[in-house]
Chain A
Amino acid sequence: MNSPQSLLQTHILPLTTIRCERLLPWPGEVLVGTSQKVDPSDVVARAGQPRALQVVDVARKLHISREQAENSILKEPGAAIHQGEIIAEYKQGFWGSRKITSPVEGMVVAVKAGRMLIEPTPTLFELRAAVSGMVTAATPGFGIAIETPGALIQGAWGSGREGYGVLKIGVRERDATMTAEQIDVSHHGTILVCGAGLDTPLLEKAQELQVRGLVVGGVPARLLKHLSRQNIPVIATEGIGRAPISATIFTLLEANEGRETTLLATTPQRWESRRPQIIIPLPASTAPPPPPGPAKTLAPGQRVRIRRAPYWGKSGTLKTAHERPRRLDNDLRLLGADVVLEDGTVVFVPYVNLEFINT
């Protein structure tokens, strides 16, 4: 690719105004209004969570034909039904009748070919604020927006859950990795930064001690499916595999150890703009800090992160943006830039392998 005009941008901001949208997955009821202060545990909206549809095959259950079943069904689409209520009855003259009762409370949504489709009454879903701040927008039926001054770190991958707790740094070096043995009761209820990687014993111990969330440099691909089924939120700041947490992020996390922190561990989806985020609300000053700025342009001095080996996960400063293709070690010729890494080394990186860091 020749054009560097569309590089991605990652926010790693020590102080900004963070806007956090909290939206219901299904239409429901918003419980808070604008200008209201909320804490992470506050329920801000609720909705009915649909449950799996139930199919009742009347013909099969009563051992009758489809046509007979149609005549035996007592409820029409739209009818509310209680668990145990008779929904079909087949009369056999002198011998009495056979009946079917509803397996759940709910509503009949369809009756076709001797089958009934029942939508069970939804269970209550409560949406919590997850982050402390001020409600700045409320859309009835859908959700709210919360704003807070604070530190914002966008990650590369998230396990799909969210959580909040006090931030604790479990490693003193960003390229170190915690072991399961290093987790103890002092980590209970915390958002734990556990280094460059993650393994199953560490994950299990963290869950056992009710750690509220994990921040790591990278997670191994083999753990992804397992992680997506766990309740504990995990954010990988760099991506998949073992990777030291970038120096910029690690320094920022260290500076905020002990503060209340929220993990919104959104799993990146192709057509969605939401990325996994670490939010650390900070005390408000007199004037709110500026929100994250627009996408940067390519210029010397710009902070960048490299997204491919052999420099994957490393950050640095853009030194020279080249206008003619340069040759890589594998002989590919591409447009790119010289980047000064944190250890002072200067390396050439194709534009497509760079992302801007907004610090």
Chain B
Amino acid sequence: MVETETRESVLVADCGSVTTRVLLLDVVSGQYRFVARGEAATTGEPPWSNVTVGLLHAISEIERITGRQIVGENGQLIVPSKGQATGVDLFVATTSAAPALKTVLVGLTDDISLASIRKVALSAYTTVVDTIGLADTRTDEERIRQLTGLGPDLFLIAGGTDGGAGERLLQLVETIALLPSLAEQRPDSPRIIYAGNGKLRPAIAEILQGAALRAAGNVRPQVDVEYLDSAQAELAALYEETKLFELPGAEDIHNLADGGLTPTAKAFGWTIQYLGDVLGSSGNIVGVDVGSSSVTIGSIINGRFHLAVRSDLGIGHHLPGLLEERPLERIVRWLPQEIAGDKVYDFIINKSLTPATVPMTTQELYLELALARELIRTTLPAAFPERFKNGGGLPPSLEMIFASGAVLTNTPRPGQAALALLDALQPVGLCNLALDSHGMAPSLGAVAAVLPEAAVQIIESGAFRELGNVVAPVGRAQVGEIVLLLKMIYENGGELEVEVEYGSLEVLPLPPGQRAELQLRPLKRFDIGAGPGRGYRRKVYGGVVGLIVDARGRPLILPTDDGERRATIQQWLWDMGG
């Protein structure tokens, strides 16, 4: 209790690649509440080359808004607070602005050891620059030449079951052992995490003599058993010891922050886990964060947490990375107007050169949302590897989807963001959509690590902007056929009955703060999350969009005719109030 009384005001900062956000939380009427937000450009890059400059700019915004002095005359944070108007009691900080670890994966087979080690790599800010495995047909000379040019920071090595044979893995490791930079013991020499057959550790250490080698538990102790925690923990620790501090000024923030400076993706993952725990949700949760230099999708599916970070993708600095995996046609298909592919290509490169800029026209707003859709869709296989291993298929029923990242949270109309999320994630059943409008999602995870009650109370007080619930029936029918009977009984006794046609998208009124009972009766064996043809009643809460009924089908198939497709996209935007 004493601890709580002395830690009332909390300053939380997230230094993104483009924007630094600072939030002030304080105790109001006995509960932690969000008080003010300040934003400024992140200044880790030249010409400033010190991330604390942008942090101080953002804090000065809060000082201006609240009249509270947070930074002293000496330029230092005033911690702890002195009365109501000076200083703060706690400071927590996260960042996604530091460079990613350039990583080479080394393993045996694509679908076993390399698949597992890839999941490990995608749990933190890494960029996979090369993969060496049994299917790799390059000569040693080609491998060494390419590795020398790539200048990797890390080799993630796995392969073999515990106690199994290891000759082929040792041969692969012997190849990379030739790299002179491995044994030079410079601060920038590549590091190695070995997470393969435990029996081979001494032999691996001998081959890689002189290299900075760390051992983790085998990611595949048995062929049908996957164990990633140990390797993920080693990778997280390595990132925080090395790359995090390459961000100019990061060390100063690390020394100031309670719990140190935390990678944003890691804190975002904590928030998702926390939401699962605190909300007491028995359902599945997905959080999406579309940043300038990374896309993160975290999930709890059937009680299992998974985090996927694509550090080679983003809506700003790393936008060109999208073109490596998605042709321009995949992007422009989400646009209600015709734009030449070359214009989109030019836009993508310009946006990567000036990532902080924002759209001033409706066309560019829609283009950024189209890019956000494809960034999310490109990250999905990493986020749900088991689902995509066999070519995709329907996503699991979700209870909640929340989205972070200015491209989604700053849309002028909430329906635009909601539609982008529906198109990208294509949820099925009944699901709640929310936006992290204050950019609090990663910060809440970091706060929870040091002051759990603050995080709980902030989440309960409405940290997220509720867009509304979405009902998405799944099945087979002709467009226009009735597939769902929906009845909504409002708190005031009013009722609304709707016959939902296959292929339709509509929004039913249910504003924020209102509750209603939703009765769903699927026809034609359509599934709304309870099994084919099975209906249910559920209490639902309102949102700024309303209750969305998305009967467009799963997977969503767009018309092939360009004109018809553009008209359809425009119609959906109108339907959603976008």
- Interface residue ranges, A against B (CB under 8 Å): 1-3, 5-9, 52-55, 57, 109-110, 112-113, 115, 117, 119, 156-157, 218, 220-222, 224, 239-241, 268, 270-273, 295, 307-312, 328-334, 349-350, 352-353
Contacts and interface: CB of A to CB of B under 8 A. Distances in A.
Interface in B328-371: 342-343, 345-350, 353-354, 356-365
Interface in B24-65: 38-41, 43, 45-49, 53-54, 57-58, 60-61
B178 A110 contact: yes
B23 to A, nearest CB: 13
A117 B358 contact: no
Contacts of B41: 1, 3, 5-7, 352
A352 B358 contact: yes
Interface residues of B, number: 55
A4 to B, nearest CB: 9
Task: Identify the interface centre among B45, B145, B148, B358: most chain A CB within 10 Å of its CB.
Answer: B358
Contacts, number: 152
B61 A329 contact: no
B38 A2 contact: yes
B358 A3 contact: no
B93 to A, nearest CB: 18
B61 A2 contact: yes
B357 A352 contact: yes
B48 A6 contact: yes
Nearest to A1: B39
B189 interface: no
A239 B39 contact: no
A332 B178 contact: no
A234 to B, nearest CB: 14
B82 interface: no
B207 interface: yes
Nearest to B323: A221
A329 B40 contact: no
Given A112-B207, A240-B349, A117 B342 contact: no
A352 B47 CA distance: 16
B520 to A, nearest CB: 34
B46 A55 contact: no
A3 B60 CA distance: 9
A181 B181 CA distance: 51
B361 A329 contact: yes
Nearest to A348: B360
A275 to B, nearest CB: 9
B19 interface: yes
A330 B366 CA distance: 10
A330 B353 contact: no
A248 B47 CA distance: 23
A91 B144 CA distance: 29
Contact of A271 (B46, B177, B356): B46
Contacts of B43: 6
Task: Identify the interface centre among B49, B171, B345: most chain A CB within 10 Å of its CB.
Answer: B345
30 contacts: A1-B40, A3-B41, A5-B40, A5-B60, A6-B43, A6-B48, A6-B53, A7-B41, A52-B148, A53-B180, A54-B141, A55-B139, A55-B178, A113-B174, A113-B177, A117-B180, A218-B346, A220-B345, A270-B45, A295-B47, A307-B350, A308-B358, A329-B360, A330-B359, A330-B412, A332-B360, A334-B358, A352-B41, A352-B357, A353-B360
Nearest to A329: B361
Given A3-B39, A270-B45, 6 more contacts: A55-B144, A117-B180, A221-B342, A241-B343, A312-B350, A350-B360
Interface in B189-218: 207
B342 A273 contact: no
Given A55-B141, A112-B174, A329-B361, A3 B412 contact: no
B457 interface: no
B357 A308 contact: yes
Contacts of A240: 346, 349-350, 353
B177 to A, nearest CB: 5
A52 B353 contact: no
A157 B349 CA distance: 10
Nearest to A349: B360
B556 to A, nearest CB: 25
A318 to B, nearest CB: 16
6 nearest A-B pairs in the assembled complex, by CB-CB distance: A273-B46, A331-B412, A241-B346, A6-B41, A113-B174, A3-B40
Contacts of B359: 308, 330, 332
B326 interface: no
Contact of A53 (B144, B207, B343): B144
B539 interface: no
B478 to A, nearest CB: 37
A273 B45 CA distance: 8
Contacts of A352: 41, 356-358
A224 B144 CA distance: 28
Contacts of B346: 218, 220-221, 240-241
B188 to A, nearest CB: 14
A52 B43 CA distance: 37
A106 to B, nearest CB: 12
Nearest to A275: B46
B353 A112 contact: no
B39 A268 contact: no
Nearest to B21: A1
A159 to B, nearest CB: 13
Contacts of A156: 353
Contacts of A218: 346
A3 B180 contact: no
B99 A333 contact: no
A219 to B, nearest CB: 9
Contact of A268 (B58, B174, B353): B353
A222 B41 CA distance: 30
B338 to A, nearest CB: 16
A308 B148 contact: no
B361 A309 contact: yes
Given A3-B61, A113-B174, A308-B364, A220 B358 contact: no
Interface string B127-150: 000000000000111001100100
Contacts of A349: 360
Given A6-B53, A270-B45, A295-B47, A309 B39 contact: no
A307 B349 CA distance: 13
A338 to B, nearest CB: 14
B183 to A, nearest CB: 8
Task: Identify the interface centre among B49, B145, B349: most chain A CB within 10 Å of its CB.
Answer: B349
Nearest to B355: A270
Contacts of B58: 3
A220 B349 CA distance: 10
B413 interface: yes
B300 to A, nearest CB: 32
B139 to A, nearest CB: 8
A151 B464 CA distance: 52
Contacts of A7: 41
A57 B143 CA distance: 13
A5 B141 contact: no
Interface string B174-188: 110110100000000
A330 B411 CA distance: 9
A271 B45 contact: yes
Nearest to A224: B349
A332 B416 CA distance: 12
B438 interface: no
B119 interface: no
A259 to B, nearest CB: 28
B66 to A, nearest CB: 14
B410 interface: yes
Nearest to A55: B141
